[in-house]
Chains A and B, each alone.
Chain A
Amino acid sequence: MLPVRRLIQGTCLAGFLALFFWMCWPYGSKQYAEAFRAREIVDAELFLTLDPLVSVSTAIAGRMFVWSLAAGAGMMLVGVLLPRAFCGYVCPLGTLFDVFDRLIGRRGRPFGRWNHARFVLLAIVLVAAAFGVLLSGFVAAIPVLTRALLFVLAPVQTGFLKGWYLVPPANVGHVLSIVLIALMFALSLLGRRFWCSYLCPTGALLSLFSLLRLTERRLTGKCVKCGCCVGACSFAAVREDFSTRTLSCASCRACRGACPAGAIEFPWRWSGAKNAGGVDLSRRGVLAGLGGAAALGVGVPLAIGDGIEPRELPIRPPGSVPEDKFLQLCVRCGQCIKVCPNNVLQPAGFELGFNGLWTPKVVADWSGCEPSCNNCGQVCPTEAIRALSLEEKRAARIGLAEINCGVCLPHVGREACQMCVDECRMAGYNAIEFVRVGSEVDEKGEPLEGSGYLAPVVREDRCVGCGLCQMRCRSINVKSRKLLDGSAIRVVAGPGKEDRVVSGSYLDLKEERARQRQQRNRVEEETGGTEYLPDFLR
């Protein structure tokens, strides 16, 4: 018989890796959005949306409908037909655990009631979400794996294919994330797919849907009590008496393959004899678990709610929803960071507080946001970054460039420099123009031609905060020529400087601002307006 499950698992893992490394590799064309669209035959964030905990937790935390709920619901419906099929067949993290388990030769070993710890984790995540704090990034299967790939293998990909100097430096967030995934794999030393069997809250959520299952594992009278099925099971779903722990079973059917007597079947739930035994839950256990979970779920948000005030306001990707909502919706998977050309987006460490850990922020000292790219919004599974058309993206302000006139070379009269102006013009924003500074005048008070410098000025009505100017000033004046300690032009975020909305058009916002400006500048009409050739001259 074909190893159907292994084939599906292999396909899913390969697909996941292809989406991550091939589809989300932004290079090859300068028309980033176009090139990405051409590659995106299926959604790059497919697996993230299939992880039901991602959409459920963000929807609860953000108190809004996120479209990936539909994908998650689809996966749960499959789970009704084939309990925890996501874990048994789809989850690439699970498949990697299987590979790892095979490598270290671990056999299944049940830890009894421990397998309800995952429900406690799930409860913590959901209670915290109800209080507006999103913890799923720490524990949900696909975000954890995506971020691990981002931190461990994406730099290698960039290093070999583009150059190691393009790999941004790591921060404490990287370390934490890598430690987390390393721990998960280390747990496999205790037993096969230990994480999946005992701790994974995504699996726990799917298990809840197993309560509605239409099929289930069942033992027939042919059982010879050999115990092969216990050793074959990766999910601790077989009890000591070889009956089924139904909420744990992932429908992988490894036990049936291992059974020498052909005593295991997967019939419709209501056909034939009932499964022996129900759910292994003691009242005390449930109460203790839920109580503890609730306490933690409430405690963590309280603890970090009053935690560190961020030292700086982060510059978020274009199309990011308002910051509080952003923190509730961003699942910290890092997919946007992977698909961002030149690593403009980088994960925060603890500088934004605990709540900002792993969230994407624009590091304009490193690189600027390309006007031909809208990739980040396209891959966000939870609409923390809205999917924008290129036109909308070019109108969405993520910050405002500000010039430090105390250090800018022409402003202080050191030398002519127009790199930010050129860069902005090339990007098509034309948001930096010249002002002549330090004009000398002759005896009559007339300015002398060629005296003084042309210095840059930012036009607030045009700047979107892409940061290309900052990157250019830094790479030339700071790093290459060592004239300055830091870029003389810097993008700053904050109220009035960025557009953070949950819905609506950024182009409309821009138009509205222009209209208001026009109104402020309106000129009195009694002078006859601005007729090109007034009557008195005709």
Chain B
Amino acid sequence: MTAAVVACVAIQWATVWGGQAAMPQGSVKRTLAEIEALIQKVGTTQPDWWDSVPLTYPPTLDLNWPLRDDGPWDASRNVGQYLWDVINPNPDRWKEGIKLVNHLMIRHKDDRAKLARSTETLGRMFHDLMEDYARAVFWWRIAAKYGGYVEPIDLAHCYWRLGCREMAVETLAQAPSDYTRHGALIKLWADMGEFDKALKLAEQKARAGMPTVGYLAAGDACRLAGRYDEALAYYRKALAGQDAAGREGDVKQGKERAKASIEGIQLFDALDVTRVPDGTYTAASLAYAGPLHVEVTVQGGRIEAVRVTRHGEKQFYSALTDTPNQIIARQGVKGVDAVTGATMTSEAIIYATAKALAGGMSKAGGR
């Protein structure tokens, strides 16, 4: 089991609980020299919580953490499986998880392969769980020194988030096409404002046998840029795409998301809160863990309240309050930013609100 295992789910789960080192995208700009100094300084300093978090783990855990484990799945014995089953799902165990991996790194310092894996895992955890990009780069660079594999897209993401676009672009030269499961490369280019580049990569991914994921990412890029017509077109392509590659579950989930996005966007333009009669309206849309229900209260042509009434989301509590607040502040759904790391949850709230308001308008029209 490798460090990559730790990643996946956590990618979807970041921000809300762990992150303190993260800077909002684009708010700080740094030069290459500044970034290098930052990585060196932060990377060599222990996090402020380090001494207050004790090292704990189940006594049944096999601290040898063999590189290959052919036994049955057992999270109480296998370290990688323990990280996956127990540490990752619980934000208040993330720090103790990092301390455990750090401990194992020191324990196996004479085993080059294990050292590479530990440091790689540390970088992964700082990146995915803590959103601590300086330390993530720091540990990944050590991992690379010992022969570990470090994903250039992840490194580029760190540089971008730390405020150095040039370093990100330069690093992405190693990633000419999007080979990721969820279109992470396309998304990163779109986030960096390289709209055309993102679309080109998306088309490429679609041609390479993953149209659903590719076009979905393209649609998201257009929507973020406010180009709703193009977004709609891409989402439709995502729906129609026949995938030759990729996992079955990913394709299914991608198509559901595309459908939800189409429904949401189609409502955006026609929406006019002032034409919604007073009342409380409910609707649901697809989020990460199933349908999310909202209850929208309109009074005197104003959105008075947006409440998430039912959801299955695990961690994104800030999205559950932040997104409704944005909707109320803007008196609409257009231009509401998705909460980083909780895109699907935020989107679901936006779309469900749009649906609820549209329901209210059609009620008025029917009179």
Contacts and interface: CB of A to CB of B under 8 A. Distances in A.
Q: Is the pairing of A and B real?
A: yes
Interface of A: 416, 418, 430, 433-437, 439, 441, 445-450, 454, 517-518, 520-521, 523, 527-534, 536-538
A433 B249 contact: no
A531 B106 contact: yes
Contacts of A529: 106
Contacts of B249: 448, 450
Contact of A528 (B9, B106, B253): B106
A538 B44 contact: yes
A106 to B, nearest CB: 60
Given A434-B90, A447-B84, A532-B50, A418 B56 contact: no
A433 B90 contact: yes
Contact of A530 (B69, B99, B314): B99
Nearest to B104: A527
18 contacts: A418-B312, A434-B89, A436-B84, A436-B85, A437-B85, A439-B85, A445-B1, A450-B9, A450-B249, A454-B314, A518-B56, A521-B56, A521-B57, A527-B103, A527-B107, A530-B99, A532-B46, A536-B109
Contacts of A450: 9, 249, 253
A471 B321 CA distance: 25
B140 to A, nearest CB: 13
Nearest to B85: A436
Interface in B2-57: 2, 4-5, 8-9, 43-47, 50, 54-57
Chain B, interface residues (CB within 8 Å), range: 35 or more
B323 interface: no
Nearest to A514: B54
A418 B89 CA distance: 12
B109 A454 contact: no
B92 A446 contact: no
Which of A520, A530, A533, A538 is packed against the most chain B CB atoms within 10 Å? A530
A422 to B, nearest CB: 10
Contacts of B45: 532
Contacts of B2: 446
Contact of B142 (A446, A517, A537): A537
B73 A435 contact: no
Contact of B289 (A416, A439, A441, A517): A416
A312 to B, nearest CB: 31
Contacts of B343: none
Contacts of A445: 1, 69-70
A439 B73 contact: yes
Contacts of B50: 532
B88 interface: yes
Which of B57, B75, B85, B102 has its CB near the most chain A CB atoms (within 10 A)?
B85
B59 interface: yes
A433 B73 contact: no
A446 B55 contact: no
Given A418-B312, A518-B54, A533-B46, A446 B5 contact: yes
Nearest to A451: B249
A518 B57 CA distance: 10
Contacts of A447: 5, 8, 81, 84
B290 A416 contact: yes
A248 B8 CA distance: 83
Given A435-B75, A521-B56, A530 B89 contact: no
* Most chain B beta carbons < 10 A, residue from A449, A517, A518: A449
B223 interface: no
B302 interface: no
Contacts of B181: 449
Contact of A523 (B90, B92, B103): B103
A517 B54 CA distance: 11
B275 interface: no
A434 B314 contact: yes
A329 B119 CA distance: 60
Contacts of B4: 446
A523 B109 CA distance: 17
B73 A454 contact: no
Contact of B103 (A441, A448, A530): A530
Contact of B106 (A418, A437, A446, A530): A530
A433 B93 contact: yes
A60 B73 CA distance: 59
Chain A contact residues: helix, strand, loop or mixed: loop
B85 A435 contact: yes
B85 to A, nearest CB: 4
Interface in B154-187: 181
Interface string B86-98: 1011101100000
A435 B86 contact: yes
Nearest to B99: A530
Given A434-B89, A439-B73, A532 B312 contact: no
Contact of A433 (B9, B47, B89): B89
Contact of A449 (B8, B289, B312): B8
A69 to B, nearest CB: 46
Contacts of A533: 43-44, 46
A296 to B, nearest CB: 56
A8 B181 CA distance: 82
A517 B142 CA distance: 34
Contact of A436 (B43, B89, B99, B253): B89
Contacts of A520: 59
Contacts of B55: 521, 523, 530
Given A418-B312, A527-B107, A439 B99 contact: no
A96 B1 CA distance: 77
A418 B314 contact: yes
Contacts of A418: 312, 314
Contacts of A523: 55, 103
Contacts of B70: 445
Contact of A441 (B73, B90, B102, B109): B73
Contacts of B84: 436, 439, 447
| Interface pairs A-B: 10 shortest CB-CB | A532-B46, A434-B89, A449-B8, A436-B85, A433-B90, A527-B107, A530-B103, A530-B55, A521-B56, A454-B89
Given A436-B85, A449-B8, A521-B59, 19 more contacts: A433-B93, A434-B314, A435-B75, A435-B86, A436-B84, A437-B85, A439-B84, A439-B85, A450-B249, A518-B56, A527-B107, A530-B102, A530-B103, A531-B106, A532-B45, A532-B50, A534-B106, A534-B109, A537-B142
Nearest to B43: A533
A439 B93 CA distance: 19
A537 B109 CA distance: 9
Contacts of B69: 445
Contacts of B314: 418, 434, 454
Nearest to A531: B106
A234 B9 CA distance: 79
Nearest to A533: B44
Given A518-B54, A521-B59, A527-B106, A436 B88 contact: yes
Nearest to A447: B84
Contacts of B47: 532
B78 to A, nearest CB: 10
Contacts of A441: 73
A352 to B, nearest CB: 37
A491 to B, nearest CB: 22
Contacts of B54: 518, 521
Interface string B205-230: 00000000000000000000000000
A450 B88 CA distance: 12
A416 B312 contact: yes
Contacts of B1: 445-446
A428 to B, nearest CB: 13
A230 B1 CA distance: 96
A437 B84 CA distance: 10
Nearest to B54: A518
A439 B249 CA distance: 14
Contacts of B103: 523, 527, 530
Contacts of B73: 439, 441
Which of A430, A446, A517, A520 is most buried by chain B, counting CB atoms within 10 A of its CB?
A: A446
